[in-house]
Amino acid sequence: MKFSSRRGILVAAASAAVLALTACSGGAQPSGPGGASATGAGFTAWALTGGTSETTFKASFDEWNAAHSDAPVKAEFFANDAYKEKIRTAVGSGNAPTLIYSWAGGTLRDYVTNSNVIDLTGKLTTLEPRIVPSVLDTGKVNGKLYAVPNNNAQPVVLYGNKELFQKAGIAAAPQTFAELLDAVAKLKAAGVQTPIALAGQSVWPELMWLEYLTDRVGGPEAFTAVMEGKPDAWKDPAIVKALEMIQELVKAGAFGDKYGSVVADSGADVALVHTGKAGMLLQGAWVYGTFLTDAPDFVAAGKLGYTNFPSVEGGKGDAKNIVGNPANFWSVSATATPAQQESAIKYMNEFMFNDAYVDGLIKGGSVPVTTDAEAKIKASDQAEFLGFAYDMVKGAPSFQLSWDQALPSTQAQALLQNLSQVFLLTQTPQQFVDTMAAVK
Amino acid sequence: MSTNRGAGAQPGLRTGPSIWLAVPALSFFAAFALIPLLGAVALSFTHWDGLGTPTFAGVDNWTRILSDPVTQNAMKLTLMLTFATWLVQCPTSLLLGVFMAGKQRYREGFSILYFLPLLFSSAAIGIAYKALLDPNFGLGSALGIDALNRDWLGDPNLSMPTLVFVIAWSFVPFHSLLYMGAARQLPDSVFEAAKIDGAGRVATFFNMTVPMLRSTIITSSTLMIVGSLTYFDLIFVMTQGGPGNATRILPLDMYLRGFRSYDMGGAAVVGVILVVVGVAVSYSLNRLSGNAKMDSTLEGA
């Protein structure tokens, strides 16, 4: 009796394990309606908390709900890192929301390969022509449209504290790498402990330095080769040179000695600049909104400077090239019901980037990715910064997607880990490129 | 009552309660521990990125993970962390526990204070310490003490000791409580006899209290050592395994592989290693100490 009951347990455990395994292959089996909480033609959307995007999305969804009470949208907002982990599991297990928020790039390619999102080509006839073509292209995979931009262009900008510049005797924002090093030295001499704020714990802001320096030294081709998976693309001399320049900055004390604890999600790097503890900051255009909300007086007094990333003497890259995120994107889940997909597409056609939407983004200090944004930007209170960012995007010969978004996730994670060690001086540029070249 | 009936039905075969009483607990254990465990073992032999369907990979994941310097470093760090947390926590909580066992009023007051960290969730402790230790806006700049303005969590040499400290801060209260309970049960008569024989406080502590608390020391050490294999929440909140890989211990390695790199097969390998090591460690600790026999330590009473 004892024996048979033990065997019974084993059999039960084994059969349950088989069940659990088959459940793992969620992507391959037909699954229930996406976003279980929405019914009928109502659909769901997941996006990120914070910033102008969240308020704009909310206002826009409210507007839709008021007009379509029969097909309401249910939106949920998550923090950045938490979202990236949650959405992958949700999509993989067939529980994705109808509208999936993303950065396009490697993740979108994964979704398309696994048929998790639907082809939107030809379905957004009202919306498509209003969006800046180069940004719209980011949402295409193999020439088909799978994701549409939903907010603002996010080029990476070099910010500066003009007050500290004046104190340190720096006449103008650095235009070359040599001038940047010189500004660092002058700021240090003037008693600024952290000449350039850097959110080292978040790591991805460190990537912006590598992206820009690689571009300035070797042009956008260096990273394009990595994207195309060319052998030894990581060992490009431009990337090695950029890493050496990063270590040169670290050794010169450009980032101070406490950058390893600074976190970007809490806006600590921005705070360092507006509290006068740091002279410069390389960050996305989206932190302008953080400056506006956290230190309105600082911005109003004209103490915030901004410029394009400095050029490198003898480098191949155009100083007008930019890196960053062209925008964030909506994709439509393949597991949503046809009625839900239809409502979502109708929403995108009729309500996205309407007047209130564009105005909301501009008011919050963001550059909408629509073709009609220019006139509205000129008329806004933030005309100066937004005009600068808009021209920057419009005049850029190349707008490179952030590497951690562009690459497949395995490589992206290895890239961040190893780059962080380069900034800590525990890995040499040569070790970095060798390690990255070995990552499959 | 059911015990009696069971014993009556099969005289001389079984004296304990019916085995069926274990079924509810066992079925929960099977559903939430054993089956997922088998799932993880199976997953460790597949390639899966979280989307799509897992594909069979043979032992590829195992050879890849075991030869990966990142995982090897994680194993080294886990060992270091286990040893360091034990070295810090065991003596501290033993001393505190024995101190708290005294019946004086002020000691009871202290006990309540020491107990407080147990009431906070690990995530809250992590967030609070992260803010306090911030070199730019933390405790150091608030109080104007420059010595506190170090890059505690961002310097690869400082981050691990800092974590050991914070972990000790949050877990020492629990272990002190174990020691306090055990120390209060020690018979007064033995200590009175020692006093009459002229033993001082230090001698009494080392020659009598510590040996008599042997079982508690083993229990508490097992909890510390096995627990340190699974530390995740505090470290994830405070450093996310960084700077670089300086605090990427095995549980973090597993999580980051699975949910950042979307390498579920590799993450499952690390998970299975953790289970095997954890079970082996707690089993051997029990065997080595003879604790499995559950002997009473109150022979002197």
CA distance A413 to chain B (A): 6
Task: State the DSSP string of B209-275.
Answer: IHHHTHHHHHHHHHHHHHHHHS--HHHHHHTTT-STTTT--HHHHHHHHHHTS--HHHHHHHHHHHH
- Mean predicted confidence (pLDDT) in A73-84: 88
Between B110 and B166, name the one with better pLDDT.
B166
Cβ of A12 within 8 Å of Cβ of B30? The answer is yes
Chain B positions touching A111 (Cβ under 8 A) are 51
Q: Is the dihedral of CA B120, B121, B124, B130 positive or negative?
A: positive
Going by DSSP bridges, is the β-strand pair A304-307/A43-48 parallel, antiparallel, or unpaired? unpaired
Q: Cβ of B240 under 8 Å from any chain A Cβ?
A: yes
Radius of gyration for chain A, computed over Cα atoms and rounded to the nearest angstrom: 24
pLDDT at B135: 84
- Mean predicted confidence (pLDDT) in A194-207: 92
Chain B positions touching A28 (Cβ under 8 A) are 52-53
**B88 pLDDT more than 80:** yes
- pLDDT tier at B13 (50, 70, 90 boundaries)? low
Q: What is the mean pLDDT of chain A?
A: 86
**A298 pLDDT more than 70:** yes
ipTM of predicted complex: 0.77
Polymer length of chain A:
440
- pLDDT tier at A409 (50, 70, 90 boundaries)? confident
pLDDT at B6: 43
**B290 pLDDT more than 70:** no
Candidates B10, B41, B159, B260: best to mutate against A (most CBs of A within 10 A) is B260
Mind listing the pLDDT tens digit for each residue in B169-180?
999 999 999 999
A252 to each of A182, A245, B8, B92, B246, how far by Cα in Å? 10, 10, 84, 42, 23
Q: Cβ of B117 under 8 Å from any chain A Cβ?
A: no
- CB nearest to B155's CB, from A16, A260, A414: A260
Q: Cβ of B292 under 8 Å from any chain A Cβ?
A: no
CA distance A375 to chain B (A): 41
- Mean predicted confidence (pLDDT) in A342-353: 92
**A40 pLDDT more than 80:** no
Tell me if residue A107 falls in helix, strand or coil. Answer: helix
Q: Cβ of A88 under 8 Å from any chain B Cβ?
A: yes
**A30 pLDDT more than 80:** no
- Mean predicted confidence (pLDDT) in B209-235: 88
- pLDDT tier at A80 (50, 70, 90 boundaries)? confident
- Mean predicted confidence (pLDDT) in A393-401: 86
**A26 pLDDT more than 70:** no
Between A87 and B111, name the one with better pLDDT.
A87
pLDDT at A270: 93
Q: Quote the Cα angle for B95-B98-B99, to 5°.
A: 80
**End-to-end CA distance of chain B, in Å?**
33
Q: Cβ of B139 under 8 Å from any chain A Cβ?
A: no
Chain B positions touching A424 (Cβ under 8 A) are 156, 243-244
Cβ of A261 within 8 Å of Cβ of B19? The answer is no
Alpha-carbon distance of A389 to A308, in angstroms, equals 9
Mind listing the pLDDT tens digit for each residue in A104-150?
988 899 899 999 999 999 999 889 888 888 888 889 998 899 999 99
pLDDT at A36: 42
| Closest-approach residue (CA) in chain B for A276 | B136
| Residue whose tokens read 């983004």 | A361
pLDDT at A45: 94
**A12 pLDDT more than 80:** no
Chain A positions touching B70 (Cβ under 8 A) are 417
Q: What is the mean pLDDT of chain B?
A: 85
B283 to each of A275, B280, B287, B292, how far by Cα in Å? 55, 5, 6, 9
Cβ of A268 within 8 Å of Cβ of B134? The answer is yes
pLDDT at B291: 56
Mind listing the pLDDT tens digit for each residue in A362-395?
888 888 888 888 888 888 888 889 999 988 888 8
Chain B positions touching A27 (Cβ under 8 A) are 51-53
Mind listing the pLDDT tens digit for each residue in A255-284?
988 888 888 877 889 999 999 999 999 999
- Mean predicted confidence (pLDDT) in A199-222: 93
- pLDDT tier at B283 (50, 70, 90 boundaries)? confident
- pLDDT tier at A93 (50, 70, 90 boundaries)? confident
CA distance A150 to chain B (A): 24
Cβ of B38 within 8 Å of Cβ of A5? The answer is no
